[in-house]
Homo-oligomer: A and B are copies of this chain.
């Protein structure tokens, strides 16, 4: 019975395709549904624009899958993140990415979910 084998499929992979050159940060939506959006961001030395802050309508949970980066909040709190580190960023907590490793890719997994009553 090859029934099960015929139905075996490969899952999608967050680490592929790898990216030899990154002129811009790469954003990919991995999954989106009514009340969630899961993204992969690949950075290499990229930071947020020098002026202004991210001020998001949605809550965010972020995990560094590879590399390293620093998130700075408007209130002065700075979180240095490396592979495996994770952080919750509530909606409207103004923040920016103040540093990412210039020598290697930093892969972020970002989960956005809405503020709901």
Contacts and interface: CB of A to CB of B under 8 A. Distances in A.
Interface of A: 3-5, 7-16, 30-31, 33-36, 38, 59, 61, 63-65, 72, 75-88, 109, 111, 113-114, 116
A36 B85 contact: no
Contacts of A35: 35, 113-114, 116
Contacts of A79: 8-11
Contacts of A7: 75-78
A111 B30 CA distance: 13
Contacts of A87: 11-12
Contact of A16 (B33, B84, B109): B84
A91 to B, nearest CB: 11
A10 B114 CA distance: 26
A47 to B, nearest CB: 15
Contacts of A9: 77-79
B84 A34 contact: no
25 contacts: A5-B78, A7-B76, A7-B77, A8-B80, A9-B77, A9-B79, A10-B79, A10-B85, A11-B79, A11-B80, A12-B86, A13-B84, A13-B85, A13-B86, A14-B63, A14-B84, A15-B84, A30-B86, A31-B61, A33-B59, A35-B35, A35-B113, A36-B59, A36-B111, A113-B113
